[in-house]
């Protein structure tokens, strides 16, 4: 009888131990992701990336060009009907945003830190040096598959966002962040689909972006690695 009682008392502790064994720490999840997309050694050789994408907005075809340069410079340009309708540029410290109707806006300091981190080239590579704290908050289904839900928080605790990494493959399948807009804060969800190999780099070949009631399906047409991107591409005026 005493052995039975002791066994019953130990069951909750054993359950907690088993949970701890099956749920990895955040740094393990991130390490698996970095390995899945090419490995730290290979990623360290990537100085810049150019991604050409296409989508539609209100029935009109649109071309999106994303340029990134290590560690955190980037430019995103959207062109529809031959006209530049939106541009977002980071020089690593400030971010400029503008469109065809003008109204350019420059973000810096705390207002820019989330976009600087998330827009950097392979952001998970730099979390440790940036003081970003990551915590696994269990698993959720994304696209019908189990994914680790990992919450990231900036060093000052001012900003946080959540990434989801597929349990089996380690690949990042979804990101959820709160963005500021003229109408207040809006939750933005980005899903990453159908990863393909581009000269050693595993990169999504499709994105699904949702902000509020707006949904956008984006196809990746070309991915170029170390192909002529210059610092002059990232000047913030």
Please state whether beta strands 214-225 and 48-57 pair in parallel, antiparallel, or not at all (unpaired): antiparallel
Within 10 angstroms of residue 139's Cβ, the number of other Cβ atoms is 16
Domain ranges of the chain: 24-234
Write the pLDDT tens digit of every residue in 104-148.
Answer: 789 888 888 888 998 899 999 999 999 999 999 999 999 999 999
Distance CA 196, CA 145 (A): 18
Residue 71, preceding peptide bond in cis (omega within 30° of 0): yes
Which H or E element spans position 35? helix 26-36
Mean pLDDT of the chain: 87
Please state whether beta strands 102-108 and 94-99 pair in parallel, antiparallel, or not at all (unpaired): antiparallel
Residue with tokens 């393990």: 28
User: What pLDDT does 101 receive?
Assistant: 58
User: What pLDDT does 180 receive?
Assistant: 61
User: What pLDDT does 210 receive?
Assistant: 84
The residues of the chain scoring below 70 in pLDDT are 1-21, 100-103, 179-184, 212-213
What's the CATH fold of domain 24-234? outer membrane lipoprotein receptor (LolB), chain A (2.50.20)
User: What pLDDT does 43 receive?
Assistant: 97
């Amino acid at each position: 009888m005493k052995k039975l009682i002791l066994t019953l008392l130990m069951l909750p502790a054993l359950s907690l131990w088993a949970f701890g064994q099956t749920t990895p720490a955040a740094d393990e999840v991130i390490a698996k992701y970095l390995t899945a997309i090419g490995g730290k050694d290979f990623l360290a050789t990537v100085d810049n990336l150019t991604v050409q994408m296409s989508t539609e907005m209100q029935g009109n075809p649109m071309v999106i060009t994303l340029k990134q340069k290590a560690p955190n410079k980037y430019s995103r340009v959207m062109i529809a009907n031959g006209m530049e309708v939106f541009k977002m540029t980071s020089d690593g410290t400030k971010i400029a945003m503008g469109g065809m109707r003008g109204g350019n806006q420059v973000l810096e300091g705390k207002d820019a830190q989330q976009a600087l981190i998330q827009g950097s080239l392979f952001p998970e590579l730099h979390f440790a040096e940036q003081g970003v704290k990551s915590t696994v908050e269990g698993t959720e289904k994304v696209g019908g598959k189990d994914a680790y839900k990992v919450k990231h928080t900036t060093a000052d605790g001012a900003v946080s966002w959540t990434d989801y990494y597929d349990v089996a493959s380690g690949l990042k399948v979804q990101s959820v962040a709160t963005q500021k807009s003229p109408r207040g804060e809006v939750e933005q969800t980005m899903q990453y689909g159908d990863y393909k190999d581009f000269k050693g780099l595993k990169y999504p070949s499709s994105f699904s972006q949702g902000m509020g009631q707006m949904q956008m399906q984006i196809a990746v047409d070309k991915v170029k690695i170390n192909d002529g991107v210059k610092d002059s591409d990232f000047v913030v005026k």
